[in-house]
Amino acid sequence: MTKTVTLHTARSTLYTPNMKDLDLHQPTQMDDVKTMLRKFKKLRREEPHAPSLDITGIDLDDVYDRAGVLAQSEKIKQTMEALEKNLKKAAG
């Protein structure tokens, strides 16, 4: 499988059948890693000063924040703590 399906339908939050849906366009499929790497290398070769290649000042915590990884892990942690608390109440 070369592509991964990301959404059932890729429509913006402002979608109506009477208007073209160009706002907040999201692709319905995501390229595989090899294709992403090939596109990245091509962009770096053809447009070395492209804004998307400028990652100065970005650290791993920024990436996690933007991806929502920390928020998800914090939510999971809170849920686990609540479950443990309820189990202790039920047992004691």
Report the predicted TM-score, pTM, of the whole model to 2 decimal places: 0.39
pLDDT at residue 22 in the model: 53
pLDDT given at position 1: 45
Condensed to tens digits (0 to 9), the pLDDT of residues 17-55 reads 666 555 555 566 777 889 989 999 999 999 999 888 888
What is the band of 78 on the pLDDT scale with cuts at 50, 70, 90? confident
Mean pLDDT of the chain: 75
Q: What is the pLDDT of residue 17?
A: 67
Q: How many whole angstroms separate alpha carbon 39 and alpha carbon 50? A: 13
C-alpha 57/C-alpha 10 separation (Å) is 32
Would you say how long the chain is, in residues?
92
